[in-house]
Amino acid sequence: MGEMPRFQLGVVGALFLSVASSVSIVICNKALMTNLGFQFATTLTSWHLMMTYCTLHVALRLNFFENKAIEMKTVMLFGILNGVSIGFLNLSLGFNSIGFYQVT
């Protein structure tokens, strides 16, 4: 029972870090696309996904979490949905302000 607050603190910290990093990425992407004229949103997305993969690979090697088996069909479906979601998010970011993007 003594470890419950510590666990909750870790979860809250992870959620905060997730939101903070997402907002930071959106702000940087919007600045690159509007202020600097960077036209390659797909390239930007692939760089972010590659960095996420590398970071998670290092975290797995350092035993921050445990690898669990999942059916390949589930992984493929998740990958397709994730790719479509990222595409629509980039499209939204290209046409809307950062504030509207974050609210939606």
Q: Counting Cβ atoms within 10 Å, is residue 93 exposed (0-12), middle (13-18) or buried (19+)?
A: buried
| Identity at 102, one-letter amino acid code | Q
Q: Is residue 75 part of a domain?
A: yes
Q: Is residue 104 part of a domain?
A: no
Per-residue pLDDT tens over the stretch 42-52: 788 788 888 88
Q: Is residue 13 part of a domain?
A: yes
Q: Is residue 73 part of a domain?
A: yes
Say if residues 94 and 33 touch (Cβ distance below 8 Å): yes
Total domain count, the chain: 1
Q: What's the pTM value of the predicted model, to 2 decimals?
A: 0.58
Report the chain's C-alpha Rg in angstroms.
17
Parent domain of 49: 4-99
Per-residue pLDDT tens over the stretch 32-77: 888 888 888 778 878 888 888 899 899 899 988 888 888 999 999 9
Give the chain's length: 104
DSSP state of 58: H
